[in-house]
Amino acid sequence: MPERDVTIGVTDGRIASVVSGRPARASAVRLKGLTLPGIANVHSHAFHRVLRARAQRGTGSFWTWREQMYEVASALDPDLYAALARAVFAEMVGAGYTCVGEFHYVHHDRDGVPYADPNALSEAVVVAAADAGIRLTLLDTCYLCGGIGRDVEGVQRRFSDGTAVDWAERVEGLARFESPTLRVGAAIHSVRAVPPGAMETVRDVAASDGCPLHAHVSEQPAENAACLEAFGITPVALLAEHGCLDPRFTAVHATHLAPADVGLLGQSASTVCLCPTTERDLADGIGPAAALAGAGVALTIGSDSHAVIDPFEETRAIELHERLGSGERGHFDPMTLLRAATENGYRSLGWDGGGRLHVGAVADFVTVRMDSVRTAGGDPALALDGAVYSANATDVSNVVVAGRTLVRDGRHQSLDVERELEGALRAVWAVLAK
**Shortest Cβ contact with Zn ion: which residue?**
304
- Helices then strands (H, E): number in the chain? 15, 15
Q: Which is nearer to Zn ion, 187 or 383 (CB)?
A: 187
Q: How many CA within 13 A on the CB side of residue 378?
A: 22
- Closest distance to Zn ion from the beta carbon of 334 (Å): 27
Q: Which of 281, 284, 304, 395 is catalytic?
A: 304
Q: What Å distances lie between residue 149 and 10, 155, 230, 231, 373, CA to CA? A: 52, 18, 9, 11, 54
Nearest to 273 by CA among 1, 34, 41, 11: 41
Distance CA(40)–CA(355), nearest Å, equals 8
For the chain, give the number of residues.
434
Active-site residue flag, 12? no
Amino acid occupying residue 157: R
Region from 236-244, 284-292, 296-304, 352-360 binding Zn ion, contact rule CB under 5 A: 296-304
Is the Cβ–Cβ distance between 15 and 358 less than 8 Å? Answer: yes
Q: Per DSSP, what are the bridge partners of residue 8?
A: 18
Q: Which is nearer to Zn ion, 279 or 304 (CB)?
A: 304
**Phi/psi-derived region of residue 162, left when phi > 0, alpha when psi is between -120 and 50, beta in every other case:** left
Report the site for Zn ion in 300-329 (rule: CB under 5 A): 304
Buried b (16+ CB within 10 A) or exposed e, 92-114: bbbbbbbbbbbbbbbbbbeebee
Give SS3 for 144: coil
- Closest distance to Zn ion from the beta carbon of 364 (Å): 23
- Closest distance to Zn ion from the beta carbon of 345 (Å): 15
Region from 8-16, 130-138, 297-305, 404-412 binding Zn ion, contact rule CB under 5 A: 297-305
The H or E element that residue 92 is part of is: helix 78-95
Alpha helices in 96-210 (DSSP H): 120-132, 164-172, 196-209
Q: Which is nearer to Zn ion, 257 or 401 (CB)?
A: 257
- Closest distance to Zn ion from the beta carbon of 65 (Å): 12
Degrees to nearest 5, angle at CA 343 with 97 and 301 = 55
The percent of the chain in helix, strand and coil, each rounded to the nearest 5, is: 40, 20, 40
Amino acid occupying residue 316: R
Report the site for Zn ion in 117-156 (rule: CB under 5 A): none
Q: How many CA within 13 A on the CB side of residue 375?
A: 25
- Closest distance to Zn ion from the beta carbon of 102 (Å): 10
Q: Which is nearer to Zn ion, 85 or 406 (CB)?
A: 85
- Closest distance to Zn ion from the beta carbon of 124 (Å): 19
With contacts defined by CB under 5 A, how many residues of the chain interact with Zn ion?
A: 1
Active-site residue flag, 45? no
Is the Cβ–Cβ distance between 61 and 283 less than 8 Å? Answer: yes
Q: Which is nearer to Zn ion, 348 or 367 (CB)?
A: 348
Q: Which is nearer to Zn ion, 161 or 304 (CB)?
A: 304
Distance CA(110)–CA(115), nearest Å, equals 10
- Closest distance to Zn ion from the beta carbon of 432 (Å): 21
The H or E element that residue 14 is part of is: strand 14-20
- Closest distance to Zn ion from the beta carbon of 272 (Å): 13
Q: Which is nearer to Zn ion, 202 or 388 (CB)?
A: 202
Q: Which is nearer to Zn ion, 102 or 313 (CB)?
A: 102
Region from 298-306, 310-318, 364-372, 417-425 binding Zn ion, contact rule CB under 5 A: 298-306
Q: Which of 189, 216, 253, 256 is catalytic?
A: 253
Q: 10 Å Cβ neighbour count for 347?
A: 22
Residues that bind Zn ion (CB under 5 A): 304
Question: Which residues are annotated as catalytic?
Answer: 253, 304
